[in-house]
Amino acid sequence: MYESVESLVACIDEPNRSGCSRMLSEHRELFATVQGSTHNHQAWPGGYLDHVVEVMNIANVLYEQFSALRPLPFSRSDLLLVVFLHDIEKPWKYELGDDGQLHHKAAMQGKAAHQQFRLEMLARYGIALTAEHENGLRYAEGELTDYTNQQRRMGPLAAMAHMCDVASARLWFDHPAAVDDPWTGARRAATSARVG
């Protein structure tokens, strides 16, 4: 069963659960308005929240399946925290251009700017990260230019967060479906807002 973002955030351990819940509550309208990306995944109004909920649901399923096979060196709470926060800068990094398209704000260009914004948001909401969480956030989208064959940069938590993000952004980039999504209970944020 596809779970709501609220029920998944409720699975995050304290003290971070309260900060994440408050962030979600204070910015839910914005999260349910902005796109998940400019073109590649969940690129519709409300797609940002849809992507976050999708990644969290995928994380919930993968955690259960993988931990049944072998013990994982992190908790479900750790994984849900990282995937909830992995794109937290997105609702603030775009602006509508004169051409009617979304464009990156100049001040939000590049991974360093995204990371700085994330850190400011975490501080504002009293969210405390371990070194493992920080690695998870840093590499949830892959090692990119940090890759080297001399050292493993992405830790286990980051690896699973990356798997969840890739599944949402590249496998199920158009889900949840606008109507009749096959995953029981899945629906778009804009639909959820209208339904209640």
Question: Which amino acid makes up residue 166?
Answer: V
Domain contains 72: yes
Kindly calculate the radius of gyration of the chain based on its CA atoms and give it in whole angstroms.
16
Give the pLDDT confidence score for residue 184 in this predicted structure.
94
Residue 191, judged by CB atoms within 10 A of its CB (0-12, 13-18, 19+), counts as middle
Residue 191 included in any domain: no
Tokens of 51: 């992507």
Q: What is the CATH number of the domain that holds 112?
A: 1.10.3210
Query: Does residue 196 form part of some domain?
Result: no
38 belongs to a structural domain: yes
Is residue 88 within 8 Å of 118, Cβ to Cβ?
A: yes
Are 90 and 48 in contact, with CB atoms under 8 Å apart? yes
- Structural domain including 47 reads 5-186
Q: What would the two tokens of residue 80 be?
A: 């849900």
At 103-151, the pLDDT tens digits run 778 777 777 787 888 889 999 999 999 999 999 988 788 777 776 778 7
pLDDT value at residue 109:
79
Nearest Cα to Cα of residue 167 among 78, 53, 58 = 58
Task: Name the residue with tokens 């892959």.
Answer: 142
Tokens of 16: 């971070």
Q: Does 193 reside within a domain?
A: no
Which pLDDT score, from 0 to 100, does residue 22 have? 97
* Other Cβ atoms closer than 10 A to 127: 24
Q: Give the per-residue pLDDT at 36.
A: 82
Handedness of CA 109, 114, 117, 119 (dihedral sign): negative
Q: 71 lies in a domain? A: yes
- Total domains, the chain: 1
The parts of the chain modelled with pLDDT lower than 70 are 147, 191-196
- A 10 A CB-CB count for 112 gives 8
| Residue 194 domain flag | no
